[in-house]
Amino acid sequence: MPRFESMDGFEHSIQKPSTRKIWIIAIILAIVAFVIGILLGRYAICSTSSESSSVTEAPQKDGVFLPGVPDSLIQDAELSIRDTLLKSIDNKNIEKYLSRLTEKPHIAGSVEDEDLAEYIRQFWLDVGFDEVQMAPYDILLSYPDMDNPNFIEVLDGSEQIIYRTPIEEDVLTPGKNNTEGIPPFNAYSPKGIVEGNLVYVNYGRVEDYIELQKAGINVTGCVAISRYGRIFRGSKVDIAQKHGAIGLILFSDPSDYAVDGQNVYPDDWWLPGSGAQRGTIFTGGGDPLTPGYPATEYAYRYGESEVKPPLPKIPAHPIGYTVARELLINMTGDEVPDKWRGGINITYRYGPGFIDNNWKIRMNISTTNVRKNSTNVIGFIKGKIEPDRYILFGNHRDAWVYGAIDPSSGTAVMMETSRALAALVKSGKWRPRRSIVFCSWAAEEYGLIGSTEWVEEYIKNLKERAVAYLNIDISVEGTDTLRSKTTPLLYRAVYEATKMVENPNPEEVTAGRKSVYDTWLYNRPWTINNQSHNLPQMESMGSGSDYAPILQRAGVTSVDFRYTYDKKAYNISGYPLYHSQYETFYAVKNIIDPDFEYHGAVAKVGVELARSLADSLIIPFNVSDYAWSLENLRVAFDKENGDKMRAKIENYDDLEKVIQHFDRAADEFGERMKNVDKNNPILTRLINDQLVLLEKAFLDPAGLPMRPLKKHMVIAESAYDSYASSSFPGLVDLLFEIEKATDPDKRWEQIKQHFAVILHTILSAASTLRDVTAFHT
């Protein structure tokens, strides 16, 4: 099967050379050696007296590095290329691609998803990519049994059915029918039948179960029912399981998914009553059976009972709020507090059980795990000067149903971005300095599987050669402003790219905000630790998309960007149609972005960011922003945990000292970078290598406590919510509910050990910024 190592396309053959050929080669080598000797005598001698102790000395007057070196080796990016690329983005193309991508449901492992993989492969070949590869993996996926579908029942004391949930969502889109997609389910739910009393657990967070305990409610042996939102659904299942629940029902409450009441899809973007959110409940990442290694034909596979983190042990199933009403309205128990009340017009009660205490809830779950092939598509535009340095640009392809927003809005934008870049290369007018690698990831919805397996297979290449990763999961979920999750090195590059893109909102332009950056700054000014900054807000990276394995395992600095909705007006966890049957091309074309102007704006941000990273002589990373970010993280952590840490950790204040040390190293590096001799390709490569190494220096081989495959010591999601990032995540996880730990002293020893690792990691990262022969601290 074709793999990444074939990128250069070399062919090898072995022949016995003739004597005549040997003599010819010998004569040529002698002539070359003679010429080199003359050149060395001419140039090396004159430069001897001007040697400097610094490897980043100021430019020589003549600007010559070596005779015969092509000018392109030291040329910076041509800014005229930026304008050409931005003008070439065509919104109509994006609309056309999205229509094609969403014709059929394309869940991972399906024939339809593999057909789309071939469609994208052929598209990239047609637009002129240098090479396109297919990378299939044999992975564990999960599907409901269509002959024995999942459902939930309410039974009376005689086991008679009082109510049974519908199997499918209502058909509300013209031209669509229920036979096209798989009904709502939660991937990796164990199959089985469970029966018991029903308990309402709000959002199913740890703090919600604490509230239940205070109210005297015991969930053990009961089926829990939880609202979607606030935290990752897999975390909800894990928490319910730990509190003794035998099953979990998940529903989309109207307070989060249908705020405007009856004004729902297909008339608006709000979720209709039958809409249910599909999704994985596995809390790990990658193929469950091959953790840490690629799921290829030679892989060792663990049994399903041996998987770590373990596969879910209790069944789970999603329902719509119309169905949830039928269950909740009949519940008994005390009324819940105001903050637990949702948007269904009923009295929300804790339970356990129903008004008729003979009634029980029964879950009938048939979901089964099965091994299947799922294929990444990897396309290459090779770099002219540094083909061994990669700018990765990715989006996942699989969807729970039609996926017009997640992920196909991103797929369509990536396709148009790749077309624009490839067309310019094909014209002969330009080729990027570094390689641009486009990635159509497989099986992201099941737990970032395609990207994780590819990173695991090529981890050695990526750690050494990958410069940055640009991720577009969803390109447009609203039309208010840009939203960017970004590692600190890329802050400035993203800001500069958005300044170059015209504002797609004419009302904003009329108000004087002419660029994407202007509206972003106006709508999302950045406040950190109660201090305002004249910058647009950057969000931290959790584990919600394919950037996670690329950052966590390979240490590649990353960004995920999209246009989003007004989060001040709508206090909701995500766009309402998320992972439902109603996430259709119709919704995008008729409700969200009819003229695809915002899709086009995201494509322009992507193409400019890719161009800048791939073509700039010096990679546009800003190391000072990393120092600034570390201090912000420290202040935030100290505010929440400083008193506890100082009481137990004698050298806790050393965290501030090592960050100050990093800050000084960043400043010194910035000066050397500013003064580097750009006529010397060796010195520019040296600076660039230090820039690329910095993110990787924050990885620790042992990983985070309890999560060895999460390697980044500063940026990672919380162990208790895979979507959310946290400051110094290993410390935060160890401190979580430490007062309830069975052995607090042992936990504090773990904290002390991990704290020492963090200090070492920051100092080590600082050392990578020093002059290359400076090994002192």
pLDDT 10s digits, 735-747: 998 988 999 999 9
526, containing H or E segment: strand 525-528
Res 675: pLDDT: 97
- Our CA angle for 428, 132, 432, nearest 5°, is 35
Tell whether 596 and 674 lie within a shared domain: no
- Strands across the sheet containing 557-564: 131-143, 368-381, 434-441, 386-396, 466-471, 557-564, 481-486
Overall domain count for the chain? 3
Burial of 19 per CB tally in 10 Å (0-12, 13-18, 19+): exposed
pLDDT of residue 4: 47
Specify whether 568 is located in the same domain as 639. Answer: no
CA-CA distance, 361 to 750, in Å (whole number)? Answer: 42
DSSP H or E run through 117: helix 111-127
Tell whether the model's pLDDT for residue 259 goes beyond 50.
yes
Query: Quick one: 161 and 108 in the same domain?
Result: no
pLDDT at 177: 63
| Last residue of one domain, picked from the residues 564, 581, 615 | 615
pLDDT in tens, 468-484: 999 999 999 999 999 99
Element holding 381 (H helix, E strand): strand 368-381
Q: Name residue 417's amino acid.
A: T
SS3 528: strand
Average pLDDT over the chain reads 92
Residues 686 and 764 placed together within one structural domain of the fold? yes
- Is the domain of 577 the same as that of 718? no
**Residue whose tokens read 């969803």:** 474
In this predicted structure, the answer to whether residue 389 has a pLDDT above a threshold of 80 is yes
Q: Which pLDDT tens digit goes with each residue over 606-615?
A: 999 999 999 9
pLDDT over threshold 50, residue 47: no
Find out whether 718 and 729 touch, Cβ atoms under 8 Å.
yes
The answer to whether the peptide bond before residue 387 is cis (omega within 30 degrees of 0) is: no
Judge contact between 633 and 728, C-beta under 8 A: yes
Cβ-proximal residues to 666 (8 Å cutoff; 6+ apart), any chain: 623, 624, 626, 627, 766, 769
Whether residue 492 lies inside any domain: the answer is yes
- 648: domain range? 623-769
Would residue 395 count as lying in a domain? Answer: yes
Assigned token pair, 188? 């990796």
Q: How far is CA 220 from CA 197, 351, 482, in A?
A: 10, 13, 44
Identify the three-state secondary structure at position 50.
Answer: coil
Alpha-carbon 238 to chain mean position:
22
Q: What is the mean pLDDT of residues 715-726?
A: 78
Flag whether 221 is in a domain.
Answer: yes
Same domain, 229 and 300: yes
What is residue 71's predicted lDDT score, i.e. its pLDDT?
Answer: 80
Dump pLDDT digits (tens) for 625-677: 999 999 999 999 999 999 999 999 999 999 999 999 999 999 999 999 999 99
Give the pLDDT confidence score for residue 40 in this predicted structure.
42
How are beta strands 368-381 and 434-441 bridged, if at all?
Answer: antiparallel
262 and 394 housed in the same domain:
no
Residues 204 and 313 in one domain: yes
Cα(116)–Cα(397) distance, integer angstroms: 8
Are 653 and 681 found together in one domain?
yes
pLDDT value at residue 29: 52
pLDDT score, position 376: 99
How does residue 38 score in pLDDT terms, banded at 50, 70 and 90?
A: very low
Residue 166: both structure tokens together: 């519908």
pLDDT at 7 over 80: no
User: The domain spanning residue 208 has which CATH number?
Assistant: 3.50.30.30
* Nearest CA-CA partner of 344 in 358, 361, 327, 332: 327
The answer to the question of residue 518 being in a domain is no
- Residue 607 has a CB neighbour count (10 Å cut-off) of 28
CA angle 251, 257, 261 (to 5 degrees): 115
Question: Is there a domain that residue 732 lies in?
Answer: yes
Residue type, 367: T
Ranking 27-41, 70-84, 384-398 by mean pLDDT, the lowest is 27-41
Q: Identify the pLDDT of residue 27.
A: 52
pLDDT more than 90, % of the chain: 85
Q: What is the pLDDT of residues 495-545, one digit of tens each?
A: 999 999 999 999 999 999 999 999 999 999 999 988 889 999 999 998 899
Q: Do 552 and 407 share a domain, yes or no?
A: yes
- Between CA 246 and CA 249, with CA 247 as vertex, the angle to 5 degrees is 155
In this structure, the answer to whether residues 592 and 670 fall within a common structural domain is no
Residues 156 and 136 in one domain: no
- Residue 22 maps to a domain: no
Whole-angstrom Cα distance, residue 36 to residue 691?
33
* Per-residue model confidence (pLDDT) at position 740: 87
